[in-house]
Amino acid sequence: MIDALLPTPGNDLSDDDLLALYAPADRSVPRLRANFVASVDGSATASGLSGALGGPADKRVFDLLRQLCDVVVVAAGTIRSEGYGAMRLPASAEQWRRAQELAPQPAFAIVTGRLDLDPSSDVFAKAPVRPLVLTAASADADRRAALAEVADVVDCGDDTVEPRRLVEVLVARGLTQIHCEGGPSLLGALIESDVLDALCLTISPALEGGSGPRITHRAAGAAPIDLRAMTLDHVLNADGMLLTQYSRRR
Ligand SMILES: NC(=O)c1ccc[n+]([C@@H]2O[C@H](COP(=O)([O-])OP(=O)(O)OC[C@H]3O[C@@H](n4cnc5c(N)ncnc54)[C@H](OP(=O)(O)O)[C@@H]3O)[C@@H](O)[C@H]2O)c1
């Protein structure tokens, strides 16, 4: 069957509507969800950053997905290239989370093998909750010691952060609702290990032209993997920007 999704009925969804739509069905069940934006022709960036692909609707969902999770996970490449500062939800989101009996702020976890992060940067210095640094046992000892002053540094593998170990480590801390904001290399690893449960993908109504990366990346020469089947949960239309969610069908 081929069915039309558009034009949609004239529902102007409120934040409460969106929170209900994106809320986990059962917070006791561990779930790893990622949120990405891409152009119509499949680029994850415009002029090197993802920001220009988004817009107010995408930003609204981006913020609400943070509000719903227990931990936001971001890989070091995205922290460095997007210039991440400390993650702090606004007071209204904190209030909502308290009412749901959640911690006022989600945890923040950075994935890095090399630990090439400045311990004095705002990501750490202004964090409302002591961040987590998820790394590998082989990481440089001096950098580990410096980051351990400002974050909980946890090994999730010998030479790289192994996605299954990452999930185990976070769930063991009670952080069952795991939300990944990027970037493509981390997403490639999550897909390869088949730990990704859901992908929120915003399709930006623009053509980038071919110089940008895809939302998912694996090293050149990496062995092909089987297709990961997904189920479409929803498509929202915000003036031609499509906000989708797909869940992994296992
Ligand atoms: N369209 C979107 O929604 C979106 C979202 C996020 C980012 N982006 C874009 O993506 C680009 C960055 O791409 P990227 O591939 O560099 O992204 P990335 O996945 O954010 O960063 C790669 C780095 O993260 C660390 N890392 C990732 N997976 C790891 C693993 N399994 N084990 C150990 N370390 C791991 C490594 O850091 P170390 O080098 O420190 O070891 C690695 O060099 C930027 O242009 C950004 O704007 C787009």
Q: What is the pLDDT along the chain (250 residues), one digit of tens a residue?
A: 887 776 666 678 999 999 999 999 999 999 999 999 999 999 999 999 999 999 999 999 999 999 999 999 999 999 999 999 999 999 999 999 999 999 999 999 999 999 999 999 999 999 999 999 999 999 999 999 999 999 999 999 999 999 999 999 999 999 999 999 999 999 999 999 999 999 999 999 999 999 999 999 999 999 999 999 999 999 999 999 999 999 999 8
- The CATH number assigned to the domain holding 116 equals 3.40.430.10
**181-220 as b/e, with b when 16 or more CB fall inside 10 Å?**
bbbbbbbbbbbbeebbbbbbbbbbebebeeebeebbbbee
Per DSSP, the residues of the chain read ------SPP-----HHHHHHHHS-S-TTS-EEEEEEEEETT--S-BTTBSGGG--HHHHHHHHHHHHH-SEEEEEHHHHHHHT-------HHHHHHHHHTT--SS-EEEEE-SS----TTSHHHHT-SS--EEEE-TTS-HHHHHHHHTTSEEEE-SSSS--HHHHHHHHHHTT--EEEEEE-HHHHHHHHHTT---EEEEEEES----S-SPPS----TTPPP-----EEEEEEEEETTEEEEEEEE--
Query: What pLDDT score does 4 carry?
Result: 75
Is the CB of 78 inside a 6 Å radius of any atom of ligand 1? yes
132 shares a domain with 206? no
Mutation pick for ligand 1 pocket among 65, 111, 214 (CB with most ligand atoms within 8 Å): 111
201 shares a domain with 165? no
Domains in the chain, number: 2
Is the CB of 212 inside a 6 Å radius of any atom of ligand 1? no
Residue 105 lies in a domain: yes
Output phi, psi for 13, to 5 deg: -70, 130
* Beta bridge pairs of residue 110: 74, 133
Residue 4 lies in a domain: no
132, with CB counted inside 10 A (0-12, 13-18, 19+), is buried
CA of 81 to the centre of ligand 1 (A): 9
Is the CB of 48 inside a 6 Å radius of any atom of ligand 1? yes
174 shares a domain with 80? yes
CA of 186 to the centre of ligand 1 (A): 6
241 shares a domain with 178? no
Is the CB of 81 inside a 6 Å radius of any atom of ligand 1? yes
Query: What pLDDT score does 62 carry?
Result: 98
* Beta bridge pairs of residue 39: 204
149 shares a domain with 212? no
174 shares a domain with 119? yes
Residue 213 lies in a domain: yes
Query: What pLDDT score does 2 carry?
Result: 82
Residue 247 lies in a domain: yes
Instruction: Decide the pairing of beta strands 107-111 and 71-75.
Output: parallel
105 shares a domain with 201? no
Query: What pLDDT score does 7 carry?
Result: 60
Alpha carbon nearest to ligand 1 atom 30, residue: 161
**Which atom from ligand 1 is nearest to the alpha carbon of 37?**
3
Query: What pLDDT score does 8 carry?
Result: 63
**Cβ count within 10 A of residue 134:** 26
Query: What pLDDT score does 6 carry?
Result: 63
164 shares a domain with 89? yes
Residue 16 lies in a domain: no
Residue 20 lies in a domain: no
Residue 66 lies in a domain: no
Query: What pLDDT score does 234 carry?
Result: 94
Residue 21 lies in a domain: no
CA of 85 to the centre of ligand 1 (A): 16
181 shares a domain with 87? yes
* Beta bridge pairs of residue 107: 71
182 shares a domain with 133? yes
Domain that holds residue 208: 197-217+228-250
**Cβ count within 10 A of residue 82:** 17
d(CA 202, CA 61): 9
204 shares a domain with 152? no
**Which atom from ligand 1 is nearest to the alpha carbon of 162?**
31
179 shares a domain with 124? yes
Is the CB of 45 inside a 6 Å radius of any atom of ligand 1? yes
